[in-house]
């Protein structure tokens, strides 16, 4: 199954924006501009996923994960016929499966 960037609906778990914001603020607090770099890395990672959502290895059940290049974070997601469901923006060295109970919303 191949998806194109414009054909994929993105659904985020309600906690994903909070996870992303917390990481951006944490990095920005450490060094001005680093939070923006983190956000850019998130966007680049998401673009790679959207280009080929089924390319990346399944990690647990139907969940897939793609690591950021520069930061110790990953996007955890699953693919359905009509959407890409982002379950978490997770730190790779903290609570590895805290997101495991997050389910895609009912249609």
Q: How many whole angstroms separate alpha carbon 2 and alpha carbon 28?
A: 36
- Model confidence over 29-84: pLDDT tens digits? 999 999 999 999 999 999 999 998 989 888 888 899 999 999 999 999 999 888 89
Sequence spans of domains, the chain: 5-91
CA distances from residue 44 to 9, 47, 62, 74, 76 in whole angstroms, order as listed: 17, 5, 22, 12, 14
Q: Which two tokens stand for residue 51?
A: 């280009």
The CATH number assigned to the domain with range 5-91 reads 3.30.2310.20
- pLDDT value of residue 1: 41
Among 91, 92, 93, 59, which residue's Cα sits nearest to residue 78? 59
Mean per-residue pLDDT for 11-24?
A: 94
More confident residue, 82 or 17: 17
- pTM (two decimals): 0.83
Name, in order, each residue with C-beta under 8 angstroms of 83's C-beta and a sequence gap of 6 or more.
8, 9, 10, 11, 104
Position 92 scores a pLDDT of 87
């Amino acid at each position: 199954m191949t998806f194109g960037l414009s054909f994929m609906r993105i659904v985020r778990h309600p906690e994903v924006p909070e996870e992303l914001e917390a990481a951006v603020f944490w990095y920005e607090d450490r060094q001005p501009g680093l939070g923006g770099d983190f956000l850019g890395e998130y966007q680049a990672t998401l673009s790679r996923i959207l280009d080929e959502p089924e390319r990346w290895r399944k990690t647990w059940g139907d969940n897939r994960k793609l690591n950021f290049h520069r930061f110790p974070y990953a996007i955890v997601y699953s693919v359905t016929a009509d959407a890409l469901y982002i379950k978490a923006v997770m730190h790779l060295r903290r609570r590895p499966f805290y997101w495991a109970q997050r389910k895609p919303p009912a249609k």
